[in-house]
Chain A
Amino acid sequence: MSTDSQPISASSPAFEFKSGVITIPVLNLFSTDINVITHQLLEKIKQAPEFFTNSSLLLDLSAIQDQELNLALLVDAIRNSGMRPIGVRGGTAYQHQDAKDLMLPVMAAQNSTNNAKQEAPVKLEAEVSKQESPDPVASTTTISTIINQPIRSGQRIYAKGDLIVIAQVSAGAEVIAEGNIHIYGTLRGRALAGVQGDESAQIFCSDLQAELVSVAGTYRISEDLDESNRNKPVQIYLNNQALIIKNI
């Protein structure tokens, strides 16, 4: 109704610009040897084809900016492997020109030549300090959310710190935490820990029947769960980007 009073011409707007934030994988290149890169990349993809296939990819050239690189060949090789490069960052002006020729956008480099391993903690610290600044007393403790009731289908719980559920999580429910998730009951729904990128976050549950479990964006769906873990008490964590589910 409110749109009626606005002076809009006959056609309503066909689009709008909005800024959005998404997380995409970044490929930090340490070598310019395309054969070696391709070989190792295919090995990685084999481990989780569903995750990598058609996944967008940002190429970080910071570590190889003083080396000669045939970007066109590299991009071709990556595309053939099933992933979709969508831009580059870091690197030299010469490499940037190559990227432009390939119609790939050049993004701002991550401060200086840091690689991703240093990046994540830096980002986290920034967030943590932002949160804690208004309340200096609680600087060393993270806030935990404790839930005593069953979390039913369709319900969604988000916790800033750790999430502790002393009941079941039903199929079709979602429990999401920036920190760890503990479920002292059956997990039938989805559990996502470390959703702001904390790769050290873990999920614990006393009976794993989950639809999906995820730590810092690395996930596994029910179908891919190992039968030896199903209906068991488990611990779920990341080890070198791989999601490990261990019986406890």
Chain B
Amino acid sequence: MARIIVVTSGKGGVGKTTTSAAIAMGLAKKGHKTAVIDFDVGLRNLDLILGCERRVVYDFVNVINNEATLNQALIKDKRCNQLYILPASQTRDKDALTKEGVGKVLEELSKTFKYVVCDSPAGIERGANLAMYFADDAFVVTNPEVSSVRDSDRMLGILSSKSKRAELGEEPIKEYLLLSRYDPKRVKLGAMLSVEDVQDILSLHLLGVIPESQSVLSASNAGEPIILDENSDAGQAYSDIVDRYLGEDKPHRFIDEEKKGLFGRLFRS
């Protein structure tokens, strides 16, 4: 049985797809057979972040509608043979997703995969609801600002009341906090919520802090999941997150400002 992970947030633009790609790649690199599904039907992006946009033939909706088999639609990553991508359909909308269809696909994936990562769309509508419905674990991606924190809180409410586990009265979804785009310098200036502030509001287990980083944008544009960039702090943060998720005890990093020389301070805005 696969473990189904949903990467969600409520708010858009906080780094769900970046996180999904990084986490899926990280798990696969550790030798676990992992599938990552793009639930953002109509606004397909995951294939770009993973650099497989030119190899999309069939998609998630095709599989749901029995127009293609799962094996035809899954794209095997060229960098890691344990990672498979199920892209979203760009020409359809979220209504093309059905609970039965999604359930069927996840069940089939569960037979052969160790982890299935569901990249949720923003919002709390159909796409997001179906992405989280079958989940075992939830990675709640939050930016250190009030609207993102409140939307995450709303999403946590939905996770605990509208998921399959909640409906069947099973053990609730395990919820983890991923604080992304964190900038200790701005926290120090009081312009950004601190890790403590966010944890105080959400009271959630912190899986990791991902620092704001220029390398995320260039990695996205290049179609390379950021976790493969071992020199970037964001990439290292995701590696830590995967390790912690798999049970390793790693101290948190990137929470405090790193010491910089005079030039560093002058030239970094």
The residues of A with any CB-CB pair to B shorter than 8 Å are: 149-155, 167-168, 170-173, 186, 188
Give the residues in chain A near B264, CB-CB below 8 Å.
none
Q: A154 → chain B, closest Cβ, in Å?
A: 5
User: What 6 additional pairs, Cβ within 8 angstroms, besides A149-B160, A154-B157, A172-B154?
Assistant: A153-B151, A154-B153, A155-B157, A170-B150, A171-B201, A172-B153
Q: B235 → chain A, closest Cβ, in Å?
A: 31
Q: A209 → chain B, closest Cβ, in Å?
A: 10
Interface of B is mostly: helix
Q: B174 → chain A, closest Cβ, in Å?
A: 13
Using A167-B203, A168-B203 as known contacts, say yes or no to A153 and B160 having CB atoms under 8 A apart: no
Do the beta carbons of B201 and A170 come within 8 Å of each other? yes
Give the residues in chain B near A167, CB-CB below 8 Å.
203
The A-contacting residues of B in range 127-156, CB under 8 angstroms, are 150-151, 153-154, 156
A177 to B148, CA, bound (A): 29
A152 to B150, CA, bound (A): 9
How many B residues touch the partner, as a band? 10 to 19
Do the beta carbons of A153 and B203 come within 8 Å of each other? no
A60 to B150, CA, bound (A): 46
Q: B26 → chain A, closest Cβ, in Å?
A: 28
Do the beta carbons of A173 and B157 come within 8 Å of each other? yes
Do the beta carbons of B161 and A150 come within 8 Å of each other? no
The A-contacting residues of B in range 196-240, CB under 8 angstroms, are 200-203
Give the residues in chain B near A188, CB-CB below 8 Å.
201
A8 to B158, CA, bound (A): 40
A167 to B201, CA, bound (A): 11
Do the beta carbons of A152 and B201 come within 8 Å of each other? no
Q: A194 → chain B, closest Cβ, in Å?
A: 25
Q: B166 → chain A, closest Cβ, in Å?
A: 11
- From B146, which residue of chain A is reached at the shortest CB distance? A171
Give the residues in chain A near B158, CB-CB below 8 Å.
154
Cross-chain contact of A153 among B157, B161, B200 (Cβ < 8 A): B157
Cross-chain contact of A154 among B154, B201, B202 (Cβ < 8 A): B154
